[in-house]
Amino acid sequence: MKQLEGLSTETIIERGKNVVMNTYGRLPMTIVKGEGAWVWDAEGKRYLDFLTGLAVNSLGHNHPAIVQAIQEQAKEIIHVSNLYWIPNQVALAERLVEHSFADKVFFCNSGAEANEAAFKLARKYAHKKFGAHKYEVVTLENSFHGRTLATLTLTGQTKYQEGYEPLPVGCTYAKLNDLESLKAKVNKNTAAVFIEPIQGEGGVLPASQEFLQGARALCDQFGALLIFDEVQCGVGRTGKLFAYEWSGVAPDIMTLAKALGGGVPIGAMLATDEVALAFQPGDHASTFGGNPLATASGCAALDVMLENGFMEGVQERSAYFKKGLEELAAKHQTGDPVRGQGFIIGWPVSKMGPEIVEACRLNGLLINCVGGKILRFLPPLMVEKQAIDQALKILDEVFSELWK
Phi, psi of 95 (to 5 degrees): -65, -45
| Inter-residue contact 49 to 291 (CB < 8 Å) | no
Residue 195 C-beta: closest distance to ligand PLP, Å: 10
Residue number with CB closer to ligand PLP (235 or 257) = 257
The whole-angstrom separation of Cα 388 and Cα 227 is 34
Options 57, 89, 115, 247; binder of ligand PLP; rule CB under 6 A: 115
Span of 105-113, 317-325, 333-341, 343-351 interacting with ligand PLP by CB under 6 A = 105-113
* 3-class secondary-structure state, position 381: coil
Options 57, 232, 238, 318; binder of ligand PLP; rule CB under 6 A: 232
Task: Please state the separation of Cα 254 from the chain's center in Å.
Answer: 12
Decide: is 257 part of the binding site for ligand PLP (CB under 6 A): yes
Nearest to 238 by CA among 177, 306, 319: 319
Span of 57-65, 144-152, 207-215, 277-285 interacting with ligand PLP by CB under 6 A = 144-152
Decide: is 112 part of the binding site for ligand PLP (CB under 6 A): yes
Decide: is 145 part of the binding site for ligand PLP (CB under 6 A): yes
Span of 68-76, 77-85, 143-151, 386-394 interacting with ligand PLP by CB under 6 A = 143-151
The whole-angstrom separation of Cα 193 and Cα 218 is 9
Residue 102 C-beta: closest distance to ligand PLP, Å: 17
Decide: is 238 part of the binding site for ligand PLP (CB under 6 A): no
Nearest to 32 by CA among 5, 72, 56, 60: 5
Residue 393 C-beta: closest distance to ligand PLP, Å: 29
Residue number with CB closer to ligand PLP (24 or 84) = 24
Letter string b/e over residues 321-360, b meaning 16 or more CB atoms within 10 A of that residue's CB = bbebbeebbeebebeeebbbbbbbbbbbbeebbeebbbbb
Decide: is 340 part of the binding site for ligand PLP (CB under 6 A): no
Decide: is 194 part of the binding site for ligand PLP (CB under 6 A): no
Strands 136-140, 190-195: pairing is parallel
What single string gives the DSSP state of each residue in 25-91?
---S----EEEBTEEE-TT--EEEESSHHHHT-TT-BT-HHHHHHHHHHHHH-S---TTS--HHHHH
Q: How many residues bind ligand PLP (CB under 6 A)?
A: 15
Decide: is 237 part of the binding site for ligand PLP (CB under 6 A): no
Decide: is 110 part of the binding site for ligand PLP (CB under 6 A): yes
Decide: is 196 part of the binding site for ligand PLP (CB under 6 A): yes
Q: Which residue is nearest to ligand PLP (CB)?
A: 111
In this structure, the chain runs to a length of 404
For residue 22, with 0-12 CB atoms within 10 Å meaning exposed, 13-18 middle and 19 or more buried, which class applies? exposed
The whole-angstrom separation of Cα 131 and Cα 138 is 18
Residue 388 C-beta: closest distance to ligand PLP, Å: 23
Decide: is 144 part of the binding site for ligand PLP (CB under 6 A): yes
Decide: is 153 part of the binding site for ligand PLP (CB under 6 A): no
Residue 135 C-beta: closest distance to ligand PLP, Å: 21
Interaction site with ligand PLP (CB under 6 A):
54, 110-112, 115, 144-146, 196, 200-201, 229, 231-232, 257
